[in-house]
C-alpha cells in the first residue's frame, strides 16, 4: 500500500520544476536533493550516476527498504556484453551495456555480495524498460 511517504531524488536529472510539481501532485512523493536518503533516484540519460554504495541499501531485517535507481538510457542492444540470470528469468539473458560506463556495471556486480541488501535498478528508454532487481546476477560475457 502506498502511503505517500516515499521520497524521490531527481539526481542530476531534472530541475525542480513543473515536472517535479506534477510528480508531487499526482503521486504524493516527497522530493529530496539527497539521493542517499531517497527511496527512488531518477537519473536522466547522459547525467552523472550516483555511486551505488552511497544509496540506501536496506537493512538486514528490512532489505526492502533499499533504493530503486531509475536510469534513462538511449536504448538496449539485442545481444551485448552483459548477461543476467536469476529469479524471473527462465534462462540467462544478454543485453548491451545501454551506454552506461563499465565502472557502473562493475559496482553493480560487486554489490551482489551484499544480497539481500542492495539497490534495485530500472533502466528505461523511449519504449523499453529493463528491470534488474538486486536478486539478478550480472556478468560480462
DSSP 65-81: EE-EEEEE-S---SS-S
In whole angstroms, give the CA distance from residue 51 to residue 70.
13
Angstrom distance (rounded) from CA 107 to CA 3 = 31
Neighbours of 133 (CB within 10 A): 15
Query: For the chain, where are the alpha helices, taking DSSP H only?
Result: 18-27, 102-111
Q: Which residue has the cell 550516483?
A: 50
Contact 105, 97 (CB under 8 A): yes
Which tens digits make up the pLDDT trace of 84-106?
Answer: 888 877 888 877 768 888 888 88
How does DSSP classify residue 26?
H
For 122, which DSSP code?
E
Percent of all residues in the chain with a pLDDT value above 70, rounded to a whole number: 88
- Neighbouring CB atoms inside 10 A of 101's CB total 10
Among the listed residues 136, 121, 139, 123, the one whose alpha carbon sits nearest the alpha carbon of residue 88: 136
Output the pTM of the full model.
0.87
Task: Provide the pLDDT for residue 1.
Answer: 40
Q: What is the pLDDT of residue 52?
A: 94
- 22-67 pLDDT tens trace: 878 888 888 888 999 999 999 988 888 999 999 999 999 999 999 9
> 16-51 as b/e, with b when 16 or more CB fall inside 10 Å?
eeeebeebeeeeebeebeebeebbbbbbeeeeebbe
Amino acid at each position: 500500500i502506498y502511503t505517500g511517504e516515499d521520497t524521490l531524488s531527481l539526481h542530476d536529472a531534472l530541475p525542480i520544476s513543473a515536472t517535479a510539481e506534477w510528480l508531487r501532485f499526482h503521486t504524493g512523493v516527497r522530493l529530496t536533493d539527497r539521493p542517499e536518503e531517497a527511496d527512488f533516484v531518477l537519473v536522466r540519460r547522459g547525467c552523472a550516476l550516483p555511486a551505488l554504495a552511497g544509496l540506501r541499501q536496506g537493512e538486514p531485517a528490512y532489505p526492502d527498504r533499499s533504493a530503486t535507481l531509475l536510469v534513462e538510457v538511449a536504448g538496449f542492444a539485442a545481444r551485448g556484453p552483459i548477461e543476467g540470470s536469476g529469479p524471473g528469468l527462465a534462462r540467462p539473458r544478454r543485453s548491451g551495456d545501454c551506454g552506461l560506463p563499465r565502472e557502473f556495471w562493475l559496482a553493480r556486480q560487486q554489490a551482489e555480495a551484499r544480497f539481500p541488501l542492495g539497490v534495485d535498478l530500472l533502466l528505461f528508454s523511449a519504449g523499453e524498460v529493463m528491470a534488474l532487481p538486486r536478486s539478478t546476477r550480472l556478468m560480462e560475457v
